[in-house]
Amino acid sequence: MKRTIILLASLMTGVLSFALGSTLAAQEPGDAGAVNIGSNRELLVDQYLIGSLDGTTQKLWPPRDEGPVLLLDRPWEGEYSAYITIVHVGDKYQLYYRGEHRSQNRSDEVGRTCYAESEDGIHWTRPDIGAFRWEGNQETNVLFEDASALGHNFAPFYDTNPNCPPEQRYKALAGIDSTGLVAFVSPDGIHWKKLQEEPVAKHKNYALDSQNIAFWSESEGKYLCYLRGWDSYRTVIRIESEDFIHWGPDGGIWMTYGDTPREQIYVNQTAPYFRAPQLYIATAARFMEGKRVVTPEEAAACAVTPNQVDACSDPVLMTTRGGNLYDRTFMEGLIRPGLDPGDWTARTNYPVCGIVQTGPDEMSMYVERFYAQPRARIHRYSWKLDRIASINAPYAGGEFRTKPLVFSGEDLFINANTSAPGTIQVEILDKNAQPIPGYELDKSPVLTGNWIEKKIRWADDKSAASLAGQEVILRFVMKDADLYALRFGAEE
């Protein structure tokens, strides 16, 4: 098998890449001196701002299941539809996925890329693309079918590079080991062409048989791709490019996971968070190979393909800010499989790549359910904006202090909520952890309520402006409350 052949080479390369990646990670802000957050919105999903927790904990908030939004029931879609990406630009939501039916004798060497669109991210239509006909069906939503595996895992994104030409505003990578990654471009996300005939990335380390996610990094000023690797685990490799054609370093940078147990990461779904692009959020699929949950009777009732019963999977949350490290603050499942036995077969519960805003105070992620079953579908899951994780204080109370940080802007804004008796207060300390006059705890308002963005002012309507550019520590004293995110700046 390919995995056995490349294992030794992968491990050797992984050691070298680990050394390189560790250097990159060591250069991240926050490891030495103050964290410069500027006016960035910062979600409390990782360890980036965590100084100390006293009576408080970091808490993961699973999203709410809003039900199915697309049944993958067209004859050119089917049970093996997979590797799904959502793109949100302006007032249009665009969904891309592989369509594949079990009657095709599934193979990595075939695949068709399908397309759906929406005005709200909730109600979806399949427009007739006019590019593909299926056994008498005169209207299909197929962008293209490709027998060289380029339709197997087509993964597009909207390019926010300010120097991107309009005719290349959408980009995508696709391909498997035999083809390498091939680059595509499009002006509208519907009409695609190859950027060049030759693959832009190909290496023995790359196990490319699932989604390989690329995007323009605003914070790093380059294109990044997070792709599949194999080092005795399904894992993730990072490569980067200035022009979307030349990618490196050769063999990639092997991602690491800190001091956490290794797990099989199938699709990584790493992308900049749309309200804080310096933070890359990965709603990854954790694959529990060999862990069978369903009984033979349950498998038969689900009509699942027999080779998909000896594993199960769930979405997990990982984050990264560059370098080779995924932060895995939360090892718990982001979404637990449901009551239906069909949720407990292999390769179901795979997240769609992308978190998008679907309402004034709502955002959504999407998950494919019932893979390799006749009822394959996509579900939408929702959070309130920015509320993926929090610093949680119990009724007895507690406090949270940030690392020393430097900010820009006039006011502090927080995303938080409390119970009816719950409270939040904010004190600002100097770099020696001493209260700064005018920003002491007794000058802070005692807040009770629920806010996506709450401006904090101290006594006499005092803003934080006089402290901009200085090294400070934020101290949150909380009771029966959650703090999800914070930023400095002006009102939006």
Confidence tier at 2 by pLDDT (50, 70, 90):
very low
Lowest mean pLDDT among 111-120, 238-247, 275-284: 111-120
CB atoms within 10 A of CB 55: 14
Closest CA to 228 of 258, 171, 266: 266
Q: Where in the chain is the domain with CATH 2.115.10.20?
A: 64-384
Mean pLDDT of 361-368: 98
Q: Where in the chain is the domain with CATH 2.60.120.260?
A: 34-60+389-489
Task: Identify whether the C-beta of residue 170 lies closer than 8 Å to the C-beta of residue 189.
Answer: yes
Q: Residue 316 carries which side chain, given as an amino acid letter?
A: V
pLDDT tens digits, one per residue of 325-357? 999 999 999 999 999 999 999 999 999 999 999
With a cut of 80, say whether residue 242 has pLDDT above it: yes
Closest CA to 150 of 120, 121, 173, 117: 173
Q: CA-to-CA distance for 336 and 314, rounded, in angstroms?
A: 6
292: exposed, middle or buried (C-beta count within 10 Å: 0-12, 13-18, 19+)? middle
pLDDT tens digits, one per residue of 385-406? 999 999 999 999 999 999 999 9
With a cut of 80, say whether residue 109 has pLDDT above it: no
pLDDT tens digits, one per residue of 407-456? 999 999 999 999 999 999 999 999 999 999 999 999 999 999 999 999 99
Assign 97 to helix, strand or coil.
strand
CB atoms within 10 A of CB 319: 23
> What CATH number is given for 34-60+389-489 in this structure?
2.60.120.260
Mean pLDDT of 308-313: 97
Q: What is the DSSP letter of 111?
A: -
> What CATH number is given for 64-384 in this structure?
2.115.10.20
C-alpha distances (whole Å) from 87 to each of 96, 121, 166, 373, 473 are 8, 10, 17, 26, 37
Q: CA-to-CA distance for 440 and 164, rounded, in angstroms?
A: 48
Return the pLDDT at 135.
80
pTM: 0.91
pLDDT tens digits, one per residue of 87-96? 999 999 999 9
With a cut of 50, say whether residue 28 has pLDDT above it: no
- CA angle 424/425/430 to nearest 5° reads 140
Mean pLDDT of 184-206: 96
